[in-house]
Amino acid sequence: MARLLTGLGALLLLGSAVWPAGSAGAQPKPAEPKPSSQDCLACHADKDLKRGAPKPGRRDSLFADEGELKASAHAGLECAACHRTATAPHDSPLPPVQCAGCHDKVRVELGGGVHVSARGQAGAPACASCHGTHDVRRAATMTIEACASCHGKQVQVYRASVHGRSRQRGDSEAATCRSCHGSAHGVLAKSDPRSSTYHLNLPRTCAQCHADPELAKRYNIPIANVYQLYMDSIHGRAVTKSGLLVAANCSDCHGSHDIRPHTDPGSRVFPANVPKTCGACHAGVLAQYAESVHGKAAAKGVSMAPVCTDCHSAHQIRRVEGAPWQLDVIRECGSCHEESLRTYRDTFHGKVTALGMARVAKCADCHGAHTVRALSDPASSVSEANLVATCAKCHPGATARFAEFQPHADHSNKARYPILYYSYLLMTTLLVGTFAFFGLHTLLWLPRSLVERLRRGRAPGGEGPEP
């Protein structure tokens, strides 16, 4: 200990020898009291105070606004609380403030986050980039402006989105940056499997709000159980069960910062835009669909023309190889083609599928699914040229005569199907005639037979007068 003190004394003596008396430190440094804020402001209140030499990434002005500080979260702090090494006056520039000196917990939060790992790169955010320097704001009062200072483009897109607009209307429930990306300090890159916006994690992130049917009710969102539906869908299972990065998650269809309601023509899920949105992954199907009667009509802006979601649904998309979907989609076709569905249900094909067997012909087996074309189109699978081959898919040995079968015949249409009309009429007449005669016969016989039985007694073979 004694030796240490001697050493220190020697050092101080050396110091006094090097630095002329009356300059910066009249007293030895460690003994020097911290300068008060007034000491600092003696120089830094000067608005024109500038850095000696410009430093990249830092502002040139060395002006410190006292008013700003007094209004900030740090109002109660002296300058030296942050600028710990400061002396008044000082010649050499001060080292950057280490916020972690007080906010040690934040340093842990930041650890591994994208905002920290990017440090050292040009334009990487420091604490002050978001929180300000002397005008330090409380986290609770910070807005997306803080994010916008770097992520301007994303914030601009967000402002036009359904979430952004909802916020602007003063709705505190609508998602903002932090709702999806998590706390600013721990924010992770989208490519990081721990990130809330990582492809496989995003559905759960959206579900924080959109799994709540009450929220859907409050905001008139038509599908209340969207998360549950999605999780049971082919996309949801592929993402959550198989971990497929190529399977659609929420943002693949809805967008991320640019989410808009499906009624907005600018939305990715606006009906007219749906084929393009789905086609981003299902390019082959999109190409077929674009050539189909549905696709052409949709491209012309016919609002009745079905797009992908009209048949496949939006969130309940199922495997098309399974019987349940194949049978259910028949009803979907029938929601527009009512007459065809009605006549189909009169045939063996339609009845067997109604009973749950998918092996017989369904709409798409004859007409094609994405390739469906008008009857008048020679390329149609049900055109005159292709019909026999289409029937032969299930009925090997089908002939042109076989293909004369009317799979959508309507026996009530006398003009188009006279033979069927009269066949039906004949059968009905026979049915009604038989039942009318024997119905009457039975009605008359019943009381007579009753009388007969009562007269004869209970036993059929019992005594009784001969008739």
Partner 1 sequence: MTQGRYYFRFNLYHRILHGMVMVSFLGLAVTGLPLKYAQTGWGLGLSQALGGPFTAGYLHRFFAIITFTYFALHLGYIARLVLLRRPGIFWGPDSMVPQPRDLLQIFQHMRYFLGWGPRPRFGRWAYWEKFDYWAVFWGISIIGASGLLLWFPTFFARVLPGWIFNVAIIVHSDEALLAVGFIFTIHFFNGHLRPEKFPMDPVIFTGRVEEEEFRRDHPVEYERLRAEGRLESRRADPPPLWLRNFSLVVGLSALAIGLVLICLIVTTALK
Q: Provide the binding-site residues for partner 1, judged by CB under 8 A.
A: 345-348, 350-352, 354-357, 359, 395-399, 401-406, 409, 411, 417, 419-420, 423-424, 427-428, 430-431, 434-435, 438-439, 441-442, 444-450, 452-454, 456, 459-462, 466-467
Q: Smallest distance, Å, CB 293 to partner 1?
A: 25
Q: Smallest distance, Å, CB 352 to partner 1?
A: 5
In order, the DSSP letters of 272-323 are GGHHHHHHTT-HHHHHHHHHSHHHHHHHTT-TTS--HHHHH-SS----TTSH
Q: Smallest distance, Å, CB 235 to partner 1?
A: 30
In the structure encoding, which two tokens stand for residue 140, read together?
A: 């609770």
Q: Which is nearer to partner 1, 301 or 462 (CB)?
A: 462
Q: Smallest distance, Å, CB 449 to partner 1?
A: 4
DSSP conformational letter for 26 = S
Q: Which is nearer to partner 1, 269 or 403 (CB)?
A: 403
Q: Smallest distance, Å, CB 450 to partner 1?
A: 5
Q: Which is nearer to partner 1, 34 or 395 (CB)?
A: 395
List residues bridging with 61 in a β-sheet.
50
User: 41 to each of 87, 88, 247, how far by Cα in Å?
Assistant: 12, 10, 60
Q: Smallest distance, Å, CB 425 to partner 1?
A: 10
Q: Is 363 exposed, middle or buried (0-12, 13-18, 19+ CB in 10 A)?
A: buried
Q: In which residue are the tokens 């000196």 written?
A: 101
d(CA 197, CA 186) in angstroms, rounded, equals 13
> Coil, helix or strand for 119?
strand
Residue partners of 114: CB distance under 8 A and separation at least 6: 187, 188, 189, 192
Q: Smallest distance, Å, CB 186 to partner 1?
A: 55
* Length of the chain as a residue count: 467
d(CA 95, CA 78) in angstroms, rounded, equals 17
Q: Smallest distance, Å, CB 266 to partner 1?
A: 43
- When computed from its CA atoms, the radius of gyration of the chain, rounded to whole angstroms, is 41
Taking alpha carbons only, the member of 195, 199, 201, 163 closest to residue 182 is 195
Q: In which residue are the tokens 């009624």 written?
A: 263
Q: Which is nearer to partner 1, 75 or 440 (CB)?
A: 440
d(CA 435, CA 449) in angstroms, rounded, equals 20
